[in-house]
Amino acid sequence: MILVTGATGQLGSDVVNELKHRGVDHVGIDIADLDITNAADVNDFFKVLSPASVIHCAAYTSVDSAEDEPDLCMSVNSVGTENIARACQEANAEMIYISTDYVFSGDGILPYEIDSSTFPLSVYGSSKLLGENAVQQRLEKYYIIRISWVFGANGNNFVKTMINHAKVKDELSVVSDQIGSPTFTSDLASLLCDIAFSGKYGIYHATNEGFCSWAEFAEEIMKQIDSPCKIRRISTEQYPTKATRPRNSRLSKSSLDIAGFSRLPEWEDALRRFLSKQ
């Protein structure tokens, strides 16, 4: 049986849907069901449920807010992940941990490999890296999946924000010097289910194929929804945020290739499929 944390979130909800579609025995939980920051509660929950595998989607993901409330962010992403990893260790369960491009500094232009040096620039990135470390220190049977620029049907994301702004504005200013890859949660959920129980443990980078800037992403959104809204390309300095974003979020998918997993479709195709259901 697979336990999915963060089951009502953007990614977790798609993972649950994919498991249902595949007829896989699973339980989806969220904060109302279990406070992952409480070690005793996590241990008691695992003793009752005895999962064979955990897909850990639960996370604090508000990147800028994390700069104002670092303790809460760390409690969820670091301590909470440590609690889940410890419970997996005691239950001899596998664990899939969802991480992020924010564990890297964003230097250079080359795609980051799974063993590239990490150097997070934000509280959020640091908290997710500590989560990675907890998983690696506690477990042998783990998968760490780093993703970026997530969008899906459930919850807020960049695509929905651009669409809503385009309804009331003629022009939007979007950063053009941060480069990465969008990740469609529906595509990612399918891959996560392929990885679960595969026995091919380790770190993977999983995003939709192709690279773009945020501005290029926004331009493609306007193109696909046939909006007259213009995208004005600006620099990172022209759009200051509380949390520092990596300028290079390119992630190498070579680990997927080596393990024999299929790469996700091109991001433009993923966006098209996402918009068709809006």
Q: What is the rounded distance in angstroms from the CA atom of residue 102 to the CA atom of residue 62?
A: 12
Question: What does the pLDDT average to over 211-218?
Answer: 98
In a domain, 122, yes or no: yes
The CATH number of the domain holding residue 93 is: 3.40.50.720
Q: Is residue 237 part of a domain?
A: no
Looking at residue 197, its pLDDT comes to 84
76 falls within a domain: yes
Q: Which helix (H) or strand (E) holds 175?
A: strand 171-175
Write out the residue range of the structural domain in which residue 151 sits: 2-156+182-208+250-265
pTM of the model: 0.96
Please tell me the predicted confidence (pLDDT) of residue 278. Answer: 79
The string of pLDDT tens digits covering residues 11-42 is: 999 999 999 999 999 999 999 999 999 999 99
Query: Is 272 among the domain residues?
Result: no
CA 13 – CA 185 distance, rounded (Å): 9
Q: What is the mean pLDDT of residues 112-129?
A: 98
**SS3 state at 169:** coil
Residue 161 within any structural domain of the chain: no
Burial class (CB in 10 A: 0-12, 13-18, 19+), 237: exposed
> Residue 3 is inside which H or E element, if any?
strand 2-5
| 273 within some domain | no
For residues 223-232, average pLDDT: 97
φ and ψ at 115, to 5 degrees? Answer: -105, 15
Would you place residue 267 in the very low, low, confident or very high pLDDT band (cuts 50, 70, 90)?
very high
Confidence of residue 155 (pLDDT cuts 50, 70, 90): confident
Of 60, 112, 124, 142, the catalytic one is 124
Output the pLDDT for position 182.
Answer: 98
pLDDT class for 277, splitting at 50, 70, 90? confident
**208, 270 Cβ separation under 8 angstroms:** yes
Question: For the residues 188-213, what does the mean pLDDT come to?
Answer: 97
Residues 80 and 76: their CA atoms lie apart, in Å, by 5
Q: What is the dihedral of CA 216, 240, 242, 76, to 10 degrees?
A: 0
Q: Do the domain assignments include residue 15?
A: yes
Instruction: Output the pLDDT for position 253.
Output: 98
Which tokens belong to 175?
């950063």
Query: Is the pLDDT assigned to residue 136 strictly greater than 90?
Result: yes
User: Is pLDDT of 1 > 90?
Assistant: yes
Number of domains in the chain: 1
Average pLDDT over residues 227-245: 97
Specify if 116 maps to a domain.
Answer: yes
124 is annotated as an active-site residue: yes
pLDDT at 213: 98
Average pLDDT score over residue span 267-271: 98
Percent of the chain with pLDDT over 90: 98
